[in-house]
Amino acid sequence: MLPRYDIVILGGGPAGAAAAISLRTHAPQLSVAIIERSAYEQPRIGETLPPIVQPLLAQLGVWESFLTEEHLPAYGACSAWGSEGLESHEFIYGKYGRGWHLDRRRFDAMLAREAVQHGAQLFMHSRVVDAQQTRDGWRLAMRQGSTSLTVEAAFVIDATGRCAAFAARRGAKPIRYDQLVGAFVFLKCTEMHDSYTMVEADVDGWWYSALLPDSGMVAAWMSDADIINKLQSTNPSHWFDQLLKSSHTRRRLSPAEPMSQPVLQAACSQQLDQVTGDNWLAIGDAAATFDPLSSQGVVKALRTGILASYAIGDWFKGDFSGLTKYRLLIDREFQEYLKTHAEFYGQERRWATSPFWRRRHAGLSPAPM
């Protein structure tokens, strides 16, 4: 007899782990399994976590565990956006005080451990290679290392990131709104005078830099894919040529030592055209992705994981309206994001004729991938 779970979650990042924790907390009678490709052993691109994450982590019951990880405090952000000068934005004056510079590997691993402690089954170094719909849900063929395994599930959550692998195989299509890509470089800091996240606009895009735990830093030049290709910005020498054109970012990185070649990371705004289907739904970046300027990646992942858990809990009780409400919430959130995106990019008018900024000022428009 095949192992059977009420819910199988594909992807053990923040969204998938949050869904598992919330399901096991509010519907402990439901069995949950997470299928994760890694064992959280490899570095992941860090992120500055805004203070508003605190109530979400508290709602999941993992706030104290998060604090014990001792991620690097972040007390604010600064930006040269719309003018040459840097403008500071202090977290300390907000309701929840400081934010954090995450070690994403440790953060994701902590959430996965919490999911297991709440009763979820975690399959690491595992991936689904085939999914067949059955009368009672789904039959999932897995590979765990060199071992093959088949499990059954009444419901599947797609938390596979922006590729939305499971949803795509069900016919869902990601709608891309721009071509934004980041060329990331990891650096070692020999000296650093502040812990701010910094954003600096330039003629062809913008720079992002933030501290990481253990004297690390990540810096990224964000632009459209065609511009990055034209300027060969994945070539280390060209990446640093581009850096020399900046002002504040160049000075900030001058004492830091590069520890990696530029690595490309997709960063486009994207929404799945169908976030729910027969016995499945998508969460986190699988449902929608935001521009990194929003600093909402992890927050959105946790929030959609929690919202999905409520909808699925209702579904098991025979109330299918929760899936409709979830779909409407995801769409409404994305429409609000598009408005905020237009407002923020509209503040930068120094290079209105350059291709990157001309595209932003014209507004994001959907293009099926």
Tens-level pLDDT at each residue, the chain (369 residues): 779 999 999 999 999 999 999 999 999 999 999 999 999 988 777 678 889 999 999 999 999 999 999 888 888 889 999 999 999 887 755 577 788 888 889 999 999 999 999 999 999 999 999 999 999 999 999 999 889 999 999 999 999 999 999 999 999 999 999 999 999 999 988 776 677 899 999 999 999 998 887 778 899 999 999 999 988 877 878 899 999 999 999 999 988 888 888 999 999 999 999 999 999 999 999 999 999 998 889 999 999 999 999 999 999 999 999 999 999 999 999 999 999 999 999 999 999 999 999 999 998 877 654
Contact criterion met (CB below 8 Å) for 269 and 178: yes
SS3 content of the chain, % helix, strand, coil (to 5): 35, 30, 35
Q: What angle do CA 217, 223, 228 make, to 5 degrees?
A: 100
DSSP tag of 125 = S
45: CB partners within 8 A, 6+ apart: 104, 184, 218, 265
Q: What pLDDT is attached to residue 281? A: 98
Supply 218's token pair. 């990540």
Supply 361's token pair. 């000022």
Supply 276's token pair. 């729910």
Render 64-107 in DSSP notation, one character per residue: HHHHHT-PEEE-EEEEE-SSSS-EEEESTTSTT--EEE--HHHH
Supply 141's token pair. 């063929």
d(CA 295, CA 337): 12
Supply 180's token pair. 């934004």
Contact criterion met (CB below 8 Å) for 46 and 69: no
Q: What would the CATH number be for the domain defined by 48-101+179-267?
A: 3.30.9.100
pLDDT, tens digit (0-9, with 9 covering 90-100), for 194-211: 778 999 999 999 999 988
DSSP tag of 88 = E
Architecture of domain 1-43+103-177+270-369: 3-Layer(bba) Sandwich (3.50)
294: CB partners within 8 A, 6+ apart: 337, 340, 341
Nearest to 201 by CA among 90, 74, 344, 48: 344
Q: What pLDDT is attached to residue 369? A: 47
Q: What pLDDT is attached to residue 217? A: 87
Answer whether 0.85 is exceeded by the pTM: yes
Q: What pLDDT is attached to residue 47? A: 73
Token pair 């800091």: residue: 189
Burial class (CB in 10 A: 0-12, 13-18, 19+), 155: buried
Task: Compute and round to an integer the Cα radius of gyration of the chain.
Answer: 21
Token pair 């902590």: residue: 110
Q: Angle formed by the axes of helices 321-345 and 355-362, to 10°?
A: 130
DSSP tag of 191 = -
Burial class (CB in 10 A: 0-12, 13-18, 19+), 290: buried
Domain ranges of the chain: 1-43+103-177+270-369, 48-101+179-267
Q: What pLDDT is attached to residue 93? A: 56
d(CA 26, CA 310): 8
Contact criterion met (CB below 8 Å) for 122 and 115: yes
